[in-house]
Structure 1
Amino acid sequence: MRFSAVTTADRILPEKLSLRLRPWLSRLDQLLDGSNEHAVAQRVSLIAFLVRVISAGLALISQVIFARWMGPFEYGIFVLVWVTVVILGNLSCLGFQTTVIRFVPEYLERRQYDLLRGILFTSKTFAVGMTTCIALAGAALIYASRDLIETYYVAPFLVGLICLPMIALGDTLDGTARSRSWVLVALTPTYIIRPVLTLVVMSIAHISGLAPTAMTALGSAVIATYVTSVLQFFAVRKRFSGVVPPGPRAIHFRDWLAVSLPIFLVEGFFFLLTNADVLMVGRYMDPDKVATYYATVKLLALVHFVYFSVKAGAAQRYAELMQNFDHARLEQFARDTARWTFWPSLTMAIILLVLGKPLLWLFGAQFTDGYPLLFIMVIGVVARASVGPAESLLNMAGKQKICAIVYAITLAVNICLSILMIPLYGLAGAACATAASMVFEALVLALTVYNRLNITMFVFAGRSPAKEEI
C-alpha cells in the first residue's frame, strides 16, 4: 500500500488542522509518487539536491583530510592539476553529454529505436576516443615543454592525463542517465562513489607508508575514476537494455555534431567560467595560495550545488515542453525552477557565512585567510541563482549559439578582471573578479531568455497567467 501524507494526516490529526494542511500534504504526495510531470521534475531535483548535499559533505571531509596530510604546497599542486584534468575531460566530450539529454526523449517518444541506439553508442565511443587522443597529445606537449613548466607540476600533470578518457565517459553516462531521469545512476558515481574511493585508496597508500604528495593523491584519483566509470557504464547499459530493444544502429553523426558543438561552446564556456578563477590564481600565485582559494571555493560549492540539482531535474522537462510547443506551461515551469534555485541558495549562503571560518580552519590554520573571500563570492552565487538554470532552458530550446556567445563574453570578462585584479589584490582580487562576472552572467542570461523566448526567468517575476497545472 502506497504511503499518503493526506490520508495519514486525516487519521492522526484533528480535523481542522488536517484540512489546513491538506494543500501542502497533497503537494507532498504528488512529489513522492510523481503523479504529474511537474512533480517528477521536482522529485528529480530534490534527489539531485540530496545527492549533492551528501557529496558536498564527503568532498569537505576528503579535502580536509588531503589538506591536513599533504600540507598547503602539495595540496595546491594536486588541486590545480585535478581541476585542469576535470575541465579537459568535460570539454573533450564536445557537448555530446548534453546532446543525449535532448535527443533520447525525442527518439523514445517517436519510437525511433535505431537512432536511439546510434546516439547512445556514438556518444560514449566519441567521448572515449577523443579524450584518449587529447591525453596523448597533452602528454607529448608537457614532456616537450618540461623546461618551461615548474618542475613540481610536470609529473603530476602526466599522471593526471591518464584520467581523461574515464572522466569523459563518466560525463557522457551522466547525461545518458539524466535523459531518463535516472538521477541516482547519473549523479551517485561522480559525486559520491568516486570521492569515497579516492579517499579510500589515498588512505590505504598513507597507511602503507607512501608519502602524502600530490602524486600519491593523483594516483588515488586515477584508480577511483577508472573503477567508478566502469561500474557506471554497466549500470547504465543494464537500465537501457530494459528500455531499448536490440537491433541495428542508425548513426547521424554530422547532425548530432551540429547540435553538440554549440552546446559544447555553451557548457565549455560555463565550465571554464566556474573553474577559471582557480586556474588564474594558479597562473599568478604559488600552490599554497591556490590551496587556500580552492578550499574557499569548495565551501562555496555548498551553495552552488542547489543550482546544479535543479538543473539536473529541469533539463529533460524543458525539452519535453519545447517538443509540445506549450509556451504558457514552459514559462511557468521556468519561473518555478528559478524559485527552486534561489531560496535554497540564499538559505545555504547565510548558513555558510556563519560557519565558514571554523569550516576553513578544518583544512588548516592558514586556510582561514580565505574566510573574507566568502562574503565577496556569495554575492555572485546568489545573483546567479536568481535566474535558475537559464542556460539549460536556452539549450533545450535550440538557442545554443546565443547562449555560447553569452558565456564567451562572460568568460572574457572574468579573465580580464582576473588579469587586472589578482596581481594587485591577490586572492581578494580573484574573488571580486569571479563575483562580478557571475552578476554579469545572471543579468545577460535573464535578458537573453526574455528576448529570445519571451520568458521572464527571474525569481521575483510574477506567476504567469497560465492556469493549467503543470
Structure 2
Amino acid sequence: MRISAVRTADLLLPKRLSEQLNPWLLRLDQLFDGSNQHAVAQRVSLIAFSVRIFSAMIALISQVIFARWMGQFEYGIFVLVWVTVVILGNLSCLGFQTTVIRFVPEYLERGQLNHLRGILFTSKTFAVGLTTLVALIGAAGVYIFRDRLESYYVAPFIAGFICLPMIALGDTLDGTARSRSWALVALTPTYIVRPILTLIVMSIGHVTGFAPTAMTAIISAIIATYATSLFQFLVVRHRFKTVVEPGPRTIEFGHWFAVSLPIFLVEGFFFLLTNADVLMVGRFLDPEKVATYFATVKLLALVHFVYFSVKAGAAQRYSELMQSHNQAELGQFARDTARWTFWPSLAMAMLLLVAGKPLLYLFGAQFTDGYPLLFIMVIGVVARASVGPAESLLNMAGRQNICATVYAVTLVVNICLSILLIPIYGLAGAACATAFSMVFEAATLSLTVYYRLGITMFVFAGRSEAKPAKEEI
C-alpha cells in the first residue's frame, strides 16, 4: 500500500497546518507516484541527483585516500592516465550510447520490435569492437613513441588501455537503461559500484604490501571496471527481456550511424571540453600541478553533477515530446529543466566556496593551492547550469549538427586560451580558460535553442508561448 504524504499530514497534523501544507505535499506525492511523463522525468532526475550526491561523496573519499597514499607525484600520473582513458572510452562509442536513448522509445511506440532488438545489439557490439581496436592501436602507439614520453607515463598508459572496451560497454549500457528511465540501473554501476570496488581493490593491494603507485591504482581501476560493466550487462539484458522477447533483428547500421555521428561530435566535443583542462595542464605542467588541479575539479563536480542528473531524467522526455509535436509543452518542460538545474547548482556552489579549503586540505596541505581556482571556475559552472541540458534538447530535436558546431568552437576557444594562459599564469590560467569557455558555451547554446527551436531555455525565462521551430539547414 502506498504511503501518501497528504493523508499522513491529515492524520498527524492539526487541520489548519495540514491544509497549508497540502499543495506542497501533493507535489511530493505526484513526484514519487505520478505516472505522467513529467513526473517520471522529475523522478528520474531526483534519483540521478541522489546517485550523483552519493557518488561525489564516494569519489571525494576515495580520491583523498589515493592522494594520501600515493603522494602528489604518483597521484598526478594516475589522474592524467585515467582521465585520458575515460575520454577515449567514451568517444569510441561514436555516439551510440545516446542514439539508443533516442530510438528505443520510438521503436517501442511504433511496435517495431525487430528494429528495437537490432539497435540494442548493434550499440553494444559496435562500441566494444571499436574500442578494442582503439586500445590496441593506442597501446602500440605509446610503446612505439615511448622515447618521446616521460618514462613514468609509459607503463601506466599501456595498462590503462586495457580498460577501454569495458568503459565503452558501461557507457552504452548507461544509455540503454536510461532509454527506459531505469536511473539506478544506468547510473549506479559507473558512479557508485566502480569507485567503491576500485577503492576496495586498491586497499587490498595496499594492505598486502603492493607499493601505492600510479600503476597499482590503474590495475585496481581495471579490475573494478571489468567487474561492474559485466555485471551491468547481465542486469540490463535481464530487464529488457520483460520489454521485448528474443527474436529476429533488423539492422539499419547506416541510418543509426548517420544519426550517431553528429551526436558523437556533440558529446565528444562536450566531453573533451569538460576534461580538456586537465589534459592541457598535464601537457604544460608537472604531475604535482595536475594532481592539485584535478582535486579542485573533483570538488567542482559537487556542483556540476546537478546538471548531469537533470540531463539523465530529461533526455527521454525531450524525445517523446518531439515525437508528439507539442511545441508549447516542450518549451515549458525545457524551461523547467533549466530551473531544476540552476537553483540546486547555485546553492551547491555557495556551499563549496565556504567549505572548499578544508575539503582540499583533506587531500594534503599542498593541495590547498587550488582553493582560489574554485572562485574562478564556479562562475562557469553556474553559467552552464542557467540554461539546463540545452545540448540534450538539441540532440533529441535532430539539431545535432549545429550543436556539434557550438561545442567545436567552444573547445577551440578553450584550447587556445589554455595554450596562451597556462604557460604564463599556471593553474590560474587554466581556471580562467575553463570558466570563460563555459560562459561562452552556455550563452551560445541558449541562443541556438532560441533561434533553432523557438524556445527560450534560460532559468529566468517566463512562461511565454514557444515560437515555431526553424527547420535545420
Structures share a fold, TM > 0.5?
A: yes
SS at match of 1:457: coil
| 1:69, distance to aligned residue in structure 2 (A) | 0.2
User: In the alignment, residue 342 of structure 2 is paired with which amino acid?
Assistant: F
User: In the alignment, residue 312 of structure 1 is paired with which amino acid?
Assistant: A
Give, in whole Å, the separation in 2 of the partners of 1:18 and 1:65.
47
SS at match of 1:244: coil
SS at match of 2:245: coil
User: After alignment, is 419-428 or 15-24 more displaced?
Assistant: 15-24
Q: Determine the structure 2 residue equivalent to 1:358.
A: 358
| 1:465, distance to aligned residue in structure 2 (A) | 4.9
Q: Determine the structure 2 residue equivalent to 1:302.
A: 302
User: After alignment, is 457-466 or 156-165 more displaced?
Assistant: 457-466
| 1:18, distance to aligned residue in structure 2 (A) | 1.5
User: After alignment, is 91-100 or 34-43 more displaced?
Assistant: 34-43
Give, in whole Å, the separation in 2 of the partners of 1:35 and 1:210.
52
| 1:344, distance to aligned residue in structure 2 (A) | 0.1
Give, in whole Å, the separation in 2 of the partners of 1:14 and 1:194.
47
| 5+ long unaligned stretches in structure 2 | 467-473
Q: Determine the structure 1 residue equivalent to 2:434.
A: 434
Q: Determine the structure 2 residue equivalent to 1:79.
A: 79
Give, in whole Å, the separation in 2 of the partners of 1:464 and 1:21.
29
User: In the alignment, residue 136 of structure 2 is paired with which amino acid?
Assistant: L
Instruction: Report Cα offsets for 1:268-297 as digits up to 9, x if no partner.
Output: 000000000000000000000000000000
| 1:34, distance to aligned residue in structure 2 (A) | 2.5
Instruction: Report Cα offsets for 1:348-398 as digits up to 9, x if no partner.
Output: 000000000000000000000000000000000000000000000000000
Identity %: 80
Instruction: Report Cα offsets for 1:406-432 as digits up to 9, x if no partner.
Output: 000000000000000000100000000
Q: Determine the structure 2 residue equivalent to 1:41.
A: 41
User: In the alignment, residue 335 of structure 2 is paired with which amino acid?
Assistant: R
Instruction: Report Cα offsets for 1:132-174 as digits up to 9, x if no partner.
Output: 0000001111111000011000000000000000000000000
Q: Determine the structure 1 residue equivalent to 2:208.
A: 208
Instruction: Report Cα offsets for 1:228-284 as digits up to 9, x if no partner.
Output: 000000000000011102210000000000000000000000000000000000000
Give, in whole Å, the separation in 1 of the partners of 2:278 and 2:407.
18
Is 1:395 aligned with 2:395? yes
Q: Determine the structure 2 residue equivalent to 1:153.
A: 153
Is 1:255 aligned with 2:265? no
Q: Determine the structure 2 residue equivalent to 1:30.
A: 30
Give, in whole Å, the separation in 1 of the partners of 2:22 and 2:41.
22
Is 1:21 aligned with 2:21? yes
Q: Determine the structure 2 residue equivalent to 1:454.
A: 454
Give, in whole Å, the separation in 1 of the partners of 2:328 and 2:294.
42
Give, in whole Å, the separation in 2 of the partners of 1:47 and 1:434.
29
Give, in whole Å, the separation in 2 of the partners of 1:151 and 1:53.
37
Q: Alignment length, in residue pairs?
A: 466
Give, in whole Å, the separation in 2 of the partners of 1:153 and 1:291.
14
Instruction: Report Cα offsets for 1:186-208 as digits up to 9, x if no partner.
Output: 00000000000000000000001
User: After alignment, is 307-316 or 240-249 more displaced?
Assistant: 240-249
Q: Determine the structure 2 residue equivalent to 1:265.
A: 265
| 1:80, distance to aligned residue in structure 2 (A) | 0.1
Instruction: Report Cα offsets for 1:286-345 as digits up to 9, x if no partner.
Output: 000000000000000000000000000000000000000000000000000000000000
Give, in whole Å, the separation in 2 of the partners of 1:464 and 1:231.
46
| 1:35, distance to aligned residue in structure 2 (A) | 2.8
Give, in whole Å, the separation in 1 of the partners of 2:123 and 2:457.
31
Q: Determine the structure 1 residue equivalent to 2:121.
A: 121
Is 1:170 aligned with 2:170? yes
Aligned positions of 1:66-465 closer than 5 A: 66-465=66-465
Give the alignment's Cα RMSD to 1 decimal.
0.7
User: In the alignment, residue 379 of structure 1 is paired with which amino acid?
Assistant: I
Give, in whole Å, the separation in 2 of the partners of 1:374 and 1:38.
34
User: In the alignment, residue 316 of structure 1 is paired with which amino acid?
Assistant: Q
Give, in whole Å, the separation in 2 of the partners of 1:231 and 1:12.
44
Instruction: Report Cα offsets for 1:428-470 as digits up to 9, x if no partner.
Output: 000000000000000000000000000000000012359xxxx
Give, in whole Å, the separation in 2 of the partners of 1:320 and 1:46.
19
User: In the alignment, residue 27 of structure 1 is paired with which amino acid?
Assistant: R
User: In the alignment, residue 253 of structure 2 is paired with which amino acid?
Assistant: F
Give, in whole Å, the separation in 1 of the partners of 2:53 and 2:72.
26
User: In the alignment, residue 194 of structure 2 is paired with which amino acid?
Assistant: R
| 1:8, distance to aligned residue in structure 2 (A) | 1.1
- The TM-score, its normalising length taken from structure 2, stands at 0.98
User: In the alignment, residue 264 of structure 2 is paired with which amino acid?
Assistant: F
Q: Determine the structure 1 residue equivalent to 2:60.
A: 60
Q: Which of structure 1's runs of 4+ aligned residues deviate more than 4 A?
A: none
Give, in whole Å, the separation in 1 of the partners of 2:286 and 2:82.
16
SS at match of 1:98: helix
